[in-house]
Amino acid sequence: MSEQRVRAAKLDAADELAGLRARFVLDDAVYLDGNSLGALPAAVPGRVDDVVRRQWGELRIRSWSESGWWTAPERIGDRIAPLVGAAAGQIVVGDSTSVNVFKALVGAVRLAGEGRDEILVDATTFPTDGYIAESAARMTGRTLRPVAPSQVPGALGDRTAAVLLNHVDYRTGRLHDLPSLTAAVRAAGAVSVWDLCHSAGALPVGLDEHGVDLAVGCTYKYLNGGPGSPAYLYVRRDLQERFDSPLPGWNSHAEPFGMRRDYEPAPGAVRGRVGTPDILSMLALEAALEVWDGVSVDAVRAKSLALTDFFLECVAAYVPAGRVESLTPDAHAERGSQVALRCADAGRVMARLIERGVVGDFRHPDVLRFGFTPLYVGFGDVERAARVLGEVISSD
């Protein structure tokens, strides 16, 4: 048995989170694509069956009140809040990440007020964030300027209205410095908007602690909410009464059943709602979040770093020198919960890995991406993934 396999067994034996694997439905494959779609929590199928058969099938319209459907967006937001370092009453769940980016960015420009005519956007962002930012800039009459996150402090000025940044780079896994960048945006009098899609559920965020203004995120990655599960919007408490959503809807009205012609926004996070909540996927998400009961985000972060460290160590041991290059920073303070490897013919390599039971993903043109979800990924999984990667690449 190799040194790496022996070490993996010892690390698994000492893993305080190892028992959480039983909270998920898993097979014999090594699943390292939880940064695209989290695994199925074991509690979800039964809960969805109840929602469909009893709440919808028997109670029908009564479930809006008797089953708590109407209050689900705020209730589930409060379940997510501690995972991103927020107090209750600041997160509402609903719509897609893209829609929430639009709400947050236009809302940020309106919060910034007149005289600020520029929006800064992360130049390395997931493409949709860039598309939304470009549209928001056109609609609000602002100029859009793409800037690398490290260059944001030097790019800020009296013209800056809002800054849209990703906490973790989706391709490389680089973790950006949310505390210092948020402070720089605040000092410049601008409004910060953070995309947490690749950090929530994988590492501490500290929205309240660091004074983030607005944030959005998806729930189908490290939060395991299921394909297309609803996203969320965070509005810091002291900004809520001034937050002017560009998508006012009947669900965010102060009197949603008053059917008034004039719009009066509801107080608090509720004003981030738009239309009728997507109840089936929302309640599946609520059940999925039960896997976090009794789990410390700090413990998850510690295991995440240990997993990614061990994976890089195993890759160095098993993969022929010079065949892959890590794009993910070595420094823990700059690393999310994934490892991205540049590799020739990466698409074919990933296809062969999947055939052999190691599931990651591929990003054009040459990036192998492996996500490490500490709730269900073990050190034995990591060793096996690196060993199979080495065998696949050596067989070329």
Average pLDDT over residues 278-290: 98
What is the C-alpha to C-alpha distance for residues 177 and 167, in angstroms, rounded to an integer? 8
Average pLDDT over residues 273-294: 98
Q: What is the pLDDT of residues 234-264, one digit of tens each?
A: 999 999 999 999 999 999 999 999 999 999 9
β-bridge pairing 191-195 and 214-217: parallel
Confidence of residue 378 (pLDDT cuts 50, 70, 90): very high
- Tokens 């997931």 map to which residue? 126
Q: What is the DSSP string of 44-69?
A: HHHHHHHIIIIIIIIIGGGHHHHT--
pLDDT at 275 (0 to 100): 97
What is the C-alpha to C-alpha distance for residues 181 and 176, in angstroms, rounded to an integer? 8
Say which CATH architecture domain 3-17+296-394 belongs to: Alpha-Beta Complex (3.90)
Quote the percentage of the chain above a pLDDT of 90.
99
Please list the active-site residues: 126, 195, 220-221, 369
Q: What is the pLDDT of residues 80-97, one digit of tens each?
A: 999 999 999 999 999 999
Average pLDDT over residues 364-372: 97
Task: Give yes or no for residue 396 having a pLDDT over 80.
Answer: no
Closest CA to 233 of 245, 249, 223, 222: 245
Average pLDDT over residues 269-284: 97
List CB contacts of 216: < 8 A, sequence separation 6 or more.
97, 100, 101, 104, 193, 194, 195, 196, 197, 231, 232, 233, 234
Biggest alpha carbon–alpha carbon distance for the chain: 73
Task: Give yes or no for residue 279 having a pLDDT over 80.
Answer: yes
- Integer Rg of the chain from CA: 22
Task: Give yes or no for residue 38 having a pLDDT over 90.
Answer: yes
β-bridge pairing 214-217 and 24-25: unpaired
Closest CA to 226 of 39, 32, 6: 39
Q: Considering the chain, what is the average pLDDT of its residues?
A: 97
Structural domain spans, the chain = 3-17+296-394, 47-292
What is the dotted CATH code of the domain comprising 47-292? 3.40.640.10
Q: What is the pLDDT of residues 1-37, one digit of tens each?
A: 699 999 999 999 999 999 999 999 999 999 999 999 9
Q: What is the pTM of this model?
A: 0.97
